[in-house]
Structure 1
């Protein structure tokens, strides 16, 4: 037995030596470089590609079937002189015996200097579309020989054959060095590339974690962008289950380019990726994403990969400074108050499709405000925005752009003019000349609305606020409902509690035409007028609870244009108010003293005039409001007025009459005691000047005062006639004499 074993061993050793010798002879005596032309012809005939082999072909036979290609390129048969792929070296080897068992066991696979060029011409045709195609030459193939006759397909057996089992893949490692992929679109002039591609893996086995590292530089030309990337993780491929996992995925890099205005974005992403093609599901769990100051966590799941993908998941963005983040990526936010958007954080569930995105169960914190609800973009192409949000508090003014230098300058000039006129009025207690009518525009001509953006807006918003600050007005329990589509924006409702009262506004803004058109209806109920004016930085000329109903229209895209085209009507009532520093009593006293031919002993200053009610109706025509029925109820007297308010320059011009209704109590000056003879007389005033002055711009109307004097003189003569003639004269003659003197 020992001899037999020894003999068998010697035989096997001999066979092995023979096989090695044959392999050595084949690999050293057979040179594949001598058959390059035949190899190229086989590539043309079988694969319909143009293979160029400029370098040497190295090979080995046993136990590894090895191959090395140097300086090779591949082109299509349609454009054989324009290679779409080239490489400096490809090296791989396969074990021979496992191939017989349909197993591929490979050693290290190395690719050096791969260069892949993909182009789409001006007609939209891509060069990769010609791979495997013959040139359009009738009746001949690339070699000029007629194509072989098509052999009839063999008949299918009665029983279908079993599908072949997938080839088992087994590679020691895969290495790609200095590869480059380039895509160019001649129609648009855009190009994209991935350069310096470095790929290395560990052993590649089915259903086993494969360590992987990939680095590359990505770039684009429109706009100019450059991205440095590095990808690490462990790839697991289960081909039988059609399941692919990328565990402990870590992607990092840096982005620079024109859109970033010289800035750079450093980014990273981590998590576990799973693609299950059998179930048409993909997942990304354990998400950790960062971009400069931004940090986010979350999870995503995609269903229906074979149809319209449906994305669901959740996202959490930690508190960060949005203003600094935007600046760090080379962008600019609209001008707003310093410190705005410095604290922003978000938690939400999300749902998305390729054309939509919805954030549900949203909790958004912006500075001192907290929002909850839902935000959705129903159609990216149409920018269809839907929002249902509830906020505890929100200060709109904080995020509005400040006034321009032009507007600030105009405001300062007007304030100076008003202050000077007001000082003169108070110093003279109404004895100074009537203030001149304002002539300077009070409104800005700067562009007010982004018409182009609004014309494309598709929005449906339903917002509520515990407290909303707008134009410095503290609005409680505010609610806003608005829609916009096709250039027509509709304010369905804006309402809230303002101080002790409330307000409600509806309207439309039409930007479908060259000049925007505004239509606004407003209802204000018992809101303190002085607090509204004080919030705008103005000294109120009046106090009281204002109730206002208005229906106004205007056209234009600036404050000035809207005011100059303002038309409509309004009615107003102010209850339980005070005309501040109006001193109507002093004006009345001055008129009475004039008729009494007496001089006032003093000049009282700054006396307020309380009233029970101030009301009227306004008709607006191109920025000028006509008020024919101004009425003020003051204890002991009534005030009637008729005039205009020129909103274009914020000026007024009124003729006012004060009527003593029977209160003959002592006046503040002996020279103007009322007495019974002055009861029922309408004492004329003229009020002209800046609207901010209110009643401080009123003076005795000397022109109409002469008419009052003539009337009083006629009444005194009538009294004398009655006293002298008594009943001795015919009544008709007596009336005629009275009428003569009253004219």
Structure 2
């Protein structure tokens, strides 16, 4: 009993002495007296200047707790790297002695990191070379240091509460003219135990600004149940709800919401994203994916689905104006695709999409670094008239009367009416790098129906090539190849085309003509080149050759046979008693060949077969000046009464000249008129021939009478011989 009392007395004295020591330390030891020494030690070890301006407080038992206020750090002669308003931590000492890290609380408020890079590329957070070569610094890097023991790595962790408030990270890069701001970050978590799920709330605003442009701002808020299990290398976010607002991308704010689970297994080197629910301003989607091979070559593999939505309304809601000819266009859109993303590219395969009545399928690959975009698309049907305004509707829009609009119009048009406005985005073409193919079952444009449309397109190093392009149009077929070279100034453009059995009126409608000049079935081919980047440039630099053939055709508003009738009537000083039944010229067959030289089409051979007549001509069409000048010769070969008038058979077989001149913008009915001088010569020649014919007829009659008299005197055989001799003499 006595020994027990002695032991208890000794233990009591020991604890009493320990209590006195603690009291002494708390009363007599003031950590504020060591603020300068702490700063000196930090600078000796790291080269970093640490200044604790605010008060420090601490406690030892049963928890070791320390509080700091108003702290800043940075390297000498450089902008401050970090500032801290308040921080406190409370640690369970008995738990630490037993090998467990147990914090009752960790609080950080007002931590700001300012990371600056100047125009020379120097960073304010980089350790100065002198500090990094100091003996203290070298001692930390010498090979004698031992790695942390397995016991320390496996130390149990327990934190009752973490509270991070107003944490800010600012990055200013003067060299790249870029600013990034992260924060203020706020994080709350409680009951944190390794291997057990705990609640987590995080707000993480982000702002990115480059080249002085409008900043892109993201406001992120995350709520989830988080699990940290370093022993099994498992990290999970369950029941995740991430809400992000995005500003600076569109006129209106974007609201992105992601719900679901994220499971990271570092032993398997993968992250699972099972059935994440996505929503972007009402656009609903689902992502089911796995990120594999995290360390060596991370790649995301999975599928993405976008539910059907009214795309027109969605675009309007985010501030993008939509003006389309069809008010019901873009009202139904959806997509589903297999997805692969790695360090090199984004790949969409087994892509299926719907746009209104159109069904789209194919694949798409986009390199994330420098490389070539590749795509292959198939579309069952597409009516472009629902999405693109027709040229006719654009042309009939009323002109603005303001002087500003008039001046702008004057700058973009020439005297002949050709626009000088740029047609192709040169900068985009110069940087374009892609290869792809498109096939459409049915295509409608400018009310022209096409089928079996397909083409290949390739662009690289400033050159755009459209190859193997073909389409079925109005029971005809069109094939073409086009090339644009944007590397050269001015642009160089080439076009090769072949058209077979095509309805010409539809072609002219497709080209914007509201009054087709020629109807019929046509075949055309040619090779053309041009330079520049406007309609004015193209017309004035058009070179090459083309040929065309028309069957079952018609020249609208031009009746060549009627012009012959009027010419003959004029030459005979007569008046036509009736107008022609038709204002047009029917062509059973016609062909021409043209050589283009700086926009002027030189036509050396043009031939046509009309009803009861044929025609041939030559001349030129000056596209820059929009003028026509051609000589046409019409030969009457049969009955023309149904086309214009009845022409005396004696006029058949003769070439009747017409002169076709005028503006291409004028009335085609006024283009062609009889060549009066030519008609007069033809009629004079005809009259001379007719007089000779009549004189010969009278001569033959007189000779016949004389031969009858001679036959009575000379006898039959001798009379015939003399008659032949006389006729031969008079014919000479």
Counterparts in 2 of 1:410 and 1:571: CA distance versus 1, 3 Å:
farther
Match of 1:419 in 2: none
Match of 2:118 in 1: 121
Which structure 1 segments of 5+ residues have no match? 413-438, 737-743
Q: Map 1:199-214 onto structure 2 (within 5 A).
A: 199-214=187-202
CA distance in 1, matches of 2:525, 2:392: 32
Deviation at 1:625, TM superposition (A): 1.5
Match of 2:356 in 1: 367
1:714 pairs with one of 685, 688, 692: 688
Match of 1:741 in 2: none
Is the CA contact 2:46–2:132 (under 8 Å) kept in the aligned structure 1? no
Q: Map 1:100-115 onto structure 2 (within 5 A).
A: 100-115=97-112
CA distance in 1, matches of 2:341, 2:558: 64
Deviation at 1:325, TM superposition (A): 4.6
CA distance in 2, matches of 1:13, 1:704: 142
1:705 pairs with one of 679, 686, 691: 679
Deviation at 1:241, TM superposition (A): 2.5
Matched, 1:393 2:381: yes
Deviation at 1:574, TM superposition (A): 0.9
Is the CA contact 2:47–2:131 (under 8 Å) kept in the aligned structure 1? no
Is the CA contact 1:579–1:695 (under 8 Å) kept in the aligned structure 2? no
Q: Map 1:565-714 onto structure 2 (within 5 A).
A: 565-594=541-570, 598-661=574-637, 663=638, 673-691=646-664, 697-714=671-688
Counterparts in 2 of 1:5 and 1:575: CA distance versus 1, 3 Å:
farther
Match of 1:456 in 2: 431
CA distance in 2, matches of 1:193, 1:540: 62
Match of 1:299 in 2: 288
1:317 pairs with one of 306, 317, 323: 306
Is the CA contact 2:571–2:680 (under 8 Å) kept in the aligned structure 1? no
Is the CA contact 2:582–2:643 (under 8 Å) kept in the aligned structure 1? no
CA distance in 2, matches of 1:655, 1:150: 96
Counterparts in 2 of 1:75 and 1:682: CA distance versus 1, 3 Å:
closer
CA distance in 2, matches of 1:234, 1:472: 58
Is the CA contact 1:287–1:299 (under 8 Å) kept in the aligned structure 2? yes
Q: Secondary structure at the match of 1:202?
A: strand
Give the TM-score taking structure 2 as reference length: 0.84
Once the two structures are superposed, residues 239-296 of structure 1 have per-residue CA deviations (whole angstroms, 9 ceiling, x without a partner) of 1232221222222243334x545x3223322232233333332333332233324332
Deviation at 1:454, TM superposition (A): 0.7
Task: Report the more deviating stretch, 47-56 or 323-332.
Answer: 323-332
Deviation at 1:716, TM superposition (A): 1.0
Deviation at 1:470, TM superposition (A): 3.4
Is the CA contact 1:442–1:650 (under 8 Å) kept in the aligned structure 2? no
Task: Report the more deviating stretch, 530-539 or 246-255.
Answer: 530-539
Task: Report the more deviating stretch, 309-318 or 506-515.
Answer: 309-318
Once the two structures are superposed, residues 469-499 of structure 1 have per-residue CA deviations (whole angstroms, 9 ceiling, x without a partner) of 2344221110111111111111212111101
Once the two structures are superposed, residues 206-229 of structure 1 have per-residue CA deviations (whole angstroms, 9 ceiling, x without a partner) of 111121111244334443344333
Matched, 1:443 2:421: no
Counterparts in 2 of 1:597 and 1:73: CA distance versus 1, 3 Å:
closer
CA distance in 1, matches of 2:343, 2:444: 37
Match of 1:27 in 2: 26
Match of 1:92 in 2: 89
2:224 pairs with one of 211, 233, 237: 233
Match of 2:480 in 1: 505
Counterparts in 2 of 1:380 and 1:407: CA distance versus 1, 3 Å:
farther
Q: Map 1:149-160 onto structure 2 (within 5 A).
A: 153=144
Counterparts in 2 of 1:627 and 1:82: CA distance versus 1, 3 Å:
closer
Give the TM-score taking structure 1 as reference length: 0.83
Task: Report the more deviating stretch, 26-35 or 492-501.
Answer: 26-35
Q: Secondary structure at the match of 1:307?
A: coil
CA distance in 2, matches of 1:389, 1:319: 20
Matched, 1:473 2:462: no
Deviation at 1:168, TM superposition (A): 1.7
Deviation at 1:527, TM superposition (A): 1.0
Is the CA contact 1:480–1:495 (under 8 Å) kept in the aligned structure 2? yes
Is the CA contact 2:496–2:528 (under 8 Å) kept in the aligned structure 1? yes
Match of 1:61 in 2: 60
Counterparts in 2 of 1:221 and 1:577: CA distance versus 1, 3 Å:
closer
Q: Secondary structure at the match of 1:203?
A: strand
Counterparts in 2 of 1:735 and 1:648: CA distance versus 1, 3 Å:
farther
Which structure 2 segments of 5+ residues have no match? 401-413, 704-722
Deviation at 1:409, TM superposition (A): 7.8
Match of 1:492 in 2: 467
CA distance in 1, matches of 2:546, 2:557: 26
CA distance in 2, matches of 1:371, 1:608: 45
Matched, 1:135 2:131: yes
Counterparts in 2 of 1:149 and 1:289: CA distance versus 1, 3 Å:
closer
Task: Report the more deviating stretch, 309-318 or 559-568.
Answer: 309-318
CA distance in 2, matches of 1:571, 1:733: 53
Counterparts in 2 of 1:514 and 1:607: CA distance versus 1, 3 Å:
closer
Matched, 1:548 2:548: no
Deviation at 1:622, TM superposition (A): 1.6
Counterparts in 2 of 1:354 and 1:495: CA distance versus 1, 3 Å:
same
Match of 1:245 in 2: 236
Match of 1:353 in 2: 342
Match of 1:254 in 2: 245
Matched, 1:725 2:725: no
Counterparts in 2 of 1:136 and 1:584: CA distance versus 1, 3 Å:
closer
CA distance in 1, matches of 2:684, 2:143: 128
Deviation at 1:195, TM superposition (A): 3.5
Deviation at 1:26, TM superposition (A): 3.8
Q: Secondary structure at the match of 2:692?
A: helix
Q: Secondary structure at the match of 2:131?
A: coil
Is the CA contact 1:654–1:687 (under 8 Å) kept in the aligned structure 2? yes
Is the CA contact 2:620–2:628 (under 8 Å) kept in the aligned structure 1? yes
RMSD over equivalenced CA pairs, Å: 3.8
- More contact order relative to length (CA 8 Å, sep ≥ 6): 1
Is the CA contact 2:561–2:640 (under 8 Å) kept in the aligned structure 1? no
Deviation at 1:593, TM superposition (A): 3.9
Once the two structures are superposed, residues 403-455 of structure 1 have per-residue CA deviations (whole angstroms, 9 ceiling, x without a partner) of 6999658999xxxxxxxxxxxxxxxxxxxxxxxxxx96253222111111111
Is the CA contact 1:334–1:401 (under 8 Å) kept in the aligned structure 2? no
Task: Report the more deviating stretch, 57-66 or 508-517.
Answer: 57-66
Deviation at 1:328, TM superposition (A): 5.0
Q: Secondary structure at the match of 1:601?
A: coil
Q: How many residues were matched structurally?
A: 691
Q: Map 1:279-298 onto structure 2 (within 5 A).
A: 279-298=268-287
Q: Map 1:67-78 onto structure 2 (within 5 A).
A: 67-76=66-75, 78=76
